[in-house]
């Protein structure tokens, strides 16, 4: 694939609209071509910025009331219809997403272990992610959108200080965190949300390079930074999970501003 083809396909790739084979060819090109990789990063940045939920306009109550008072709308059987309509769309989507996760769990529990260090960690991270989303499991030990509440909670519970970032303004609100175990070692799990999708970010000391993986429709992005290893797991699409990783890393690096 040459740069001209790649540039034509970048947007569709960022939107998850490319077929698997073309995606793989494009990914191969992006690994080798810093120019196109930068253009792709710019696309992703624009998508991240524009997806800020604060940009959404919600229909004013006055408009809804005016409609419900006119024509056929006024004949809708009143109470249930109103209530159904007023459930925020994100909540509906979240509920649907959790049900899908629950339904898939039985299938995913049967994943076979494949050798290879990162593959085993990826497997454990995914299993933990799925466990955390089960109806009777606990997702959060500390529930707060405030990084200054979440970070101190881990003091005394783990022997390292995990970086905790507030990415709410960038469309990835923090939900909280919990203490988890991955392959028999205690790790920090930070929980973020992207619209209807839950992201588990596992953190522990030690550097282990970077990688990404896809397993049964879930994406995993792994990186190392400042002496820590990070694994992000979600059913979010790959470009958006990479956006999350980029944002978290960008916030983690020491400020370069004067």
Q: Which residues bind another protein (CB under 8 A)?
A: 8, 10-12, 15, 17, 35, 38-39, 41-52, 54-60, 62-64, 66-68, 70-73, 75-76, 81, 84-85, 89, 169-171, 195, 246-247, 250
Nearer to another protein, 152 or 169 (CB): 169
- Phi, psi of 91, rounded to the nearest 5 degrees: -65, -40
The pair of three-digit structure tokens given for residue 8, joined into one six-digit string: 């034509």
Question: Rounded to the nearest whole angstrom, what is the least distance from the CB of residue 191 to another protein in the complex?
Answer: 20
How far apart are the C-alpha atoms of 187 and 165, rounded to whole Å?
17
Least distance from another protein to the Cβ atom of residue 12, Å:
6
Q: How many CB atoms lie within 10 A of CB 58?
A: 9
Q: List helix spans (H) across the chain.
A: 3-14, 20-32, 34-50, 61-68, 78-86, 89-108, 117-133, 147-153, 238-252
Q: What is the smallest separation between the CB atom of 186 and another protein, expressed in angstroms?
A: 32
Nearer residue to another protein within complex by CB, 24 or 89: 89
Give SS3 for 236: coil
In the complex, minimum distance from the CB of residue 58 to another protein, in angstroms, rounded to a whole number:
5
Considering the complex, what minimum distance in angstroms separates the CB of residue 54 from another protein? 5
Indicate the residue among 74 and 134 with the shorter CB distance to another protein.
74
Maximal CA-CA distance, the chain: 65
Please name the residue that has the structure tokens 């960008």.
250
Closest approach, Cβ 55 to another protein, in A, equals 6
What are the Cα distances from residue 207, in Å, to 124, 220, 227, 252? 17, 17, 5, 15
Nearer to another protein, 126 or 164 (CB): 164
Residue (75 or 110) nearer to another protein, CB: 75
Which residue number, 10 or 189, has a Cβ lying nearer to another protein?
Answer: 10
Q: Are 162 and 139 in contact (CB under 8 A)?
A: no
Record the tokens describing residue 99, joined without a space.
Answer: 């049900």
């Amino acid at each position: 694939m040459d740069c001209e083809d790649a540039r034509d396909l970048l947007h569709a790739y960022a939107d998850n609209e490319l077929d698997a084979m073309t995606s793989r060819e494009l990914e191969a090109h992006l690994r080798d071509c810093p120019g196109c990789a930068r253009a792709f990063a710019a696309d992703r940045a624009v998508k991240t910025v524009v997806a800020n939920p604060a940009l959404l306009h919600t229909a004013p109550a006055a408009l809804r009331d005016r409609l419900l008072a006119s024509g056929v709308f006024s004949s809708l059987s009143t109470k249930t219809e109103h209530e159904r309509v007023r459930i925020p769309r994100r909540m509906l989507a979240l509920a649907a997403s959790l049900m899908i996760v629950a339904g898939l769990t039985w299938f995913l529990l049967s994943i076979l272990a494949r050798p290879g260090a990162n593959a085993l960690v990826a497997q454990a991270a995914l299993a933990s992610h799925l466990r955390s989303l089960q109806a009777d499991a606990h997702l959060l030990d500390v529930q707060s959108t405030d990084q200054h509440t979440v970070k101190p909670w881990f003091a005394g519970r783990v022997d390292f200080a995990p970086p905790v970032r507030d990415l709410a303004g960038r469309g990835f609100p923090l939900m909280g965190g919990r203490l988890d175990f991955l392959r028999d070692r205690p790790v920090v799990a930070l929980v973020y949300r992207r619209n209807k999708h839950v992201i588990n970010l596992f953190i522990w000391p030690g550097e282990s390079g970077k990688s990404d993986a896809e397993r049964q429709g879930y994406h995993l992005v792994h990186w190392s930074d400042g002496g820590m290893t990070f694994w992000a797991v979600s059913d979010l699409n790959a470009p958006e999970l990479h956006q999350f990783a980029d944002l978290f890393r960008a916030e983690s690096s020491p400020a370069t501003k004067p």
